[in-house]
Amino acid sequence: GINYCNSETERQSIIDNFGWTINGDELNCTDVCIPTARVTITDVMNITPRATAPSFPSKGDIYMNSTTNKLMVYDGTTWQACW
């Protein structure tokens, strides 16, 4: 089966809101490394651009908008351009 960890709320949302049936998956966070402090990148970080915002964002999520060429961050209510 497929294990998931950080997407439990999103998984339940697509079941509840879109009528999906998901079989063969399991909530399992034992092998996940989730940073709890600052992450430093000393070289280049690349975010693959996408035309539409993620459907189920969480506060602090970031994506690169391929239409506007803007880095976007979710403030908990709406997507905001970083510049």
CA dist 61 → 3, 24, 71, 74, 77 (Å): 22, 28, 11, 5, 11
pLDDT of 53 above 90: yes
pLDDT of 30 above 90: no
Grouping H, G, I as helix, E, B as strand and the rest as coil, residue 22 is: coil
Structure-block tokens of residue 36: 């709890």
Q: In the predicted model, what is the mean pLDDT of the chain?
A: 85
Instruction: Name, in order, each residue with C-beta under 8 angstroms of 34's C-beta and a sequence gap of 6 or more.
Output: 6
Taking residues 4-33, what's their average pLDDT?
81
Length of the chain: 83
- pLDDT interval class at 81 (50, 70, 90): very high
Taking residues 61-70, what's their average pLDDT?
95
- pLDDT interval class at 70 (50, 70, 90): very high
